[in-house]
Amino acid sequence: MRRTIAKTLAAGALLASTALLGGCGALNEPTTAPPAPKTPKEKLLDAVPDGSQGTFSFTLQDAETAGKGVVDPKGKRLYLTTEYKDKELGFTMTMGYLIIDEESWVKITFANTKGVTGLPKLPKKWLHLDRAKVKDQEDVGFGDPDPAGAVSLFQSIVDVNEPTAGQFTGTVDLTTATKAEILDQQGLDALGEKAKAVPFRAVVDGQGRLTSIELDVPAYGQVRAYTHRATYSDYGAAPAVEDPPAGETQEAPAEAYELLNS
């Protein structure tokens, strides 16, 4: 208390002397320094969809899988369809996911299966899931509104530049960006030190929203080098994620859970 009083008296004396020296002129108001400009990394993290941008469409593509869909963060609704092509056996598996709040459905179909055995025979309807029967429930529940795990990627940036407004280039450490699920542990081990500095490019639109990410994944093991891509579009204008028609649904059979948990 004594120190506070002393500081107050000292400040009063200083103000008094200033007034005497400067006459009746007004005191200058203190100025506030402008905020520091955001770094490229901060701009990218701010650009990731967090639900405030409304519904949006997206696409995903890596070495063997391509996907697309719509996210409605406010309604906790997600539609996703992915297509996987088996290079050895030649068949194609298409998986559709529909998540509406606490309810989940999956639709699984196969094509080009001539001569292929061992594939499950599943109904061609939306199969309603009991989430408790799915090993990794994050796969069939609405969680992070960003389907590409961009936050994990950008938090693991090693270096990044913005040579042109909205255009970013740099490298990321995939060994710490595991939530983005670009590679499994086997792939990370095979890449070794290269996994710690994977080149990437990203684009942010004029409203500060992420529109694309590309990662140049080096070759490892039997996998050739490829580009992992994700795009974001139709912010606030993507088509609605509708409930599945009642006549096109049924409860998922055991074979569906076996495939999801494999």
Residue 175: inside a domain? yes
What is the average per-residue pLDDT within 31-38?
79
Cα–chain-centroid distance for residue 254? 31
Residue 251: inside a domain? yes
Give the tens place of pLDDT for each residue, 93-106. Answer: 999 999 999 999 99
pTM across the whole model = 0.82
pLDDT at 16 over 60: no
What is the average per-residue pLDDT within 130-156?
90
Q: Range of 144's domain?
A: 42-260
Cα–chain-centroid distance for residue 219? 24
What is the average per-residue pLDDT within 123-148?
89
pLDDT for position 36? 84
Asked whether 215 and 60 are in contact (CB, 8 A), the reply is no
What is the average per-residue pLDDT within 98-119?
92
pLDDT at 161 over 60: yes
Residue 16: inside a domain? no
pLDDT for position 20? 33
* Count of structural domains within the chain: 1
Confidence of residue 9 (pLDDT cuts 50, 70, 90): very low
Residue 2: inside a domain? no
**Residue 56: which CATH number?**
2.50.20
Residue 32: inside a domain? no
pLDDT greater at residue 11 or residue 155: 155
**Residue 173: how many other CB atoms lie within 10 Å:** 15
Pairing of strands 249-251, 126-128: parallel
pLDDT at 10 over 80: no
Residue 117: inside a domain? yes
In the β-sheet with 226-233, what is the strand arrangement from edge to edge?
157-164, 167-172, 198-204, 210-217, 226-233, 56-61, 65-72, 77-85, 92-100, 103-111, 126-128, 249-251
Distance CA 52, CA 235 (A): 10
197 secondary structure, DSSP code: S
